[in-house]
Structure 1
Amino acid sequence: MTQTLIIGASGGIGSALAEASRARGDKVTTLSRSADGLDVTDEHSIKAALTSLDGPFDLILVATGALEIDGHKPEKTIKSLAPDALLGQFKTNAMGPALVLKHALPLMPKDKRCVFAALSARVGSIGDNQIGGWYSYRTAKAALNQLIHGAAVEIRRSHKQSICVCLHPGTVETPFTEKYAERHKTVPAATAAENLLQVTENLTSDQTGGFFDYAGKEIVW
């Protein structure tokens, strides 16, 4: 039985991941803002939530994130870039998951395979950016990719079978994306959850530090 921890389990993808994991027979522990008061922009909140848990966990999934924060929408032009929007995106989409990893280390086994996966986004790829825009969100996801990649290198030294990765779930049918999905193929949250769980199952230790999509294909940095 897989011991699974899902952070952000009240969101569209997070709740679907919890449901899909339970359907597989996993033992699932969940944390979220709405149910547990977890605030991923507050390290004290993260530490309190994670130190209250009993590990180890075979799989830790961070499904937190936001596209609009405090009324700031994705920018269409650099002229719209606002400091508050940029900092808000960094705190929620980069700093938050990285601090979760920091405080989740004691919950990760050192003697067997374990996976830590944070939901990123293809738009965080610098090499794949062909249209510009969305400066704050793109930058935060690119920063998340770097944070997880760097941590994976370090953690591999103490947790030799660990796999720390960023995952792109695709464009998922949730309130998170409904205003921005017209030109993109979307999938139901339940389908995205199954895809992501399958990817985590198939990952090997030599893929730690990578950035992968919902089909397990590597995404350019």
Structure 2
Amino acid sequence: MSREAGSSAVVIGASGGIGGAIEAALIEEGTFEAVHGFARSRSGVQHLDLLDEASIAAAAAHAGAGPELRLVIVATGLLHSEAGGPEKALGDLDPSWLAQVYAVNAIGPALVAKHFLPIMPRTGRVVFAALSARVGSIGDNRLGGWHGYRASKAALNMLVRNLAIEERRRNDRAIVVGLHPGTVDTALSRPFQGNVQAGRLFTPERAALQLLDVIEELKVPDSGKLFDFEGKEVPF
């Protein structure tokens, strides 16, 4: 990836399959002077919990103290846990599960943007990217179901559009996008891999490189949109 010398990158969710692979790829490429990986499971200055705004603010302060921040990738998401999972029908809706899914998939990334976008440079190309999902597309929804996950990712997509509009006023070369990584062989997708087409289940390492390639090709007019792992725009 081509970036200005003396810059840094941030990966939120660096302990996850995709986030960890992105962090490793960025370090291996050596383009950035510093790569900061944050995650809930990490300690010290690398700790960041999407449900704890104070930890997000602390992580931003740490990243902002180093080389200028040119790339932020939010590689987080919640599809299922011991507390719940994708709903198959309206009767499966549970308010506590919905609140948790929205907190992780929409509110958390919004708070990351709140604290990290202001410390990114006001001039030159900067990219803020959040992992979304094709199932969060309203225009592409033909199957229904998975109410909480779909709706929370749709909310994230709207936040991406809002953030892009606001950030353009601060830096006219800023790019804010959502990214759909495809189906990646991680704990998030593992229970739902049975119907994945041959060749469409990606390793985290391959997914990371695909997403970084997409980021590399982004242009300013792409800001506020959602792109898949092939660089194709996904309708909101």
- Shorter-chain TM-score bucket reads over 0.9
Equivalence for 2:39: 32
Mapped to 1, the partners of 2:212 and 2:76 lie a distance apart of: 16
Cα distance, 1:106 vs structure 2: 2.8
- Secondary structure class of the residue paired with 1:179: helix
Structure 1 ranges of 4+ moved more than 3 A: none
Question: 1:145 maps to which residue?
Answer: 157
Amino acid at match of 1:215: E
1:181-196 equivalences in 2 (<5 Å): 181-184=193-196, 185-196=200-211
Q: Deviations over 1:71-113 (max 9, x none)?
A: 2010111110110111111000000011101100232111110
SS of the equivalent of 1:52 reads helix
Alpha-carbon distance, 1:70 to partner: 4.6
For structure 2, the residue ranges without an aligned partner over 5 or more in a row are none
Match of 1:43 in 2: 53
1:1-221 counterparts in 2 under 5 A? 1=5, 3-27=8-32, 28-35=35-42, 36-53=46-63, 54=65, 55-184=67-196, 185-221=200-236
2-structure distance, mates of 1:93, 1:160 = 27
Which TM-score applies when normalising by structure 2?
Answer: 0.90
- The Cα shift of 1:170 comes to 0.4
- Code of the residue aligned with 2:153 in structure 1: it is K
Amino acid at match of 1:171: T
Q: Distance in 1 between matches of 2:68 and 2:47?
A: 22
Counterpart CA distance in 1 for 2:31 and 2:96 is 40
Q: Secondary structure at the match of 2:49?
A: coil
Displacement of 1:38 after TM fit? 1.3
CA distance in 1, matches of 2:62, 2:129: 21
RMSD, aligned CA: 1.2
The number of residues matched between the two structures is 221
Q: Which amino acid aligns with 1:5?
A: V
Using the alignment, how far apart are the partners of 2:223 and 2:49 within structure 1? 27
| Distance (whole Å) between structure 1 residues aligned to residue 235 and residue 13 of structure 2 | 26
> TM-score, normalised to structure 1's length?
0.96
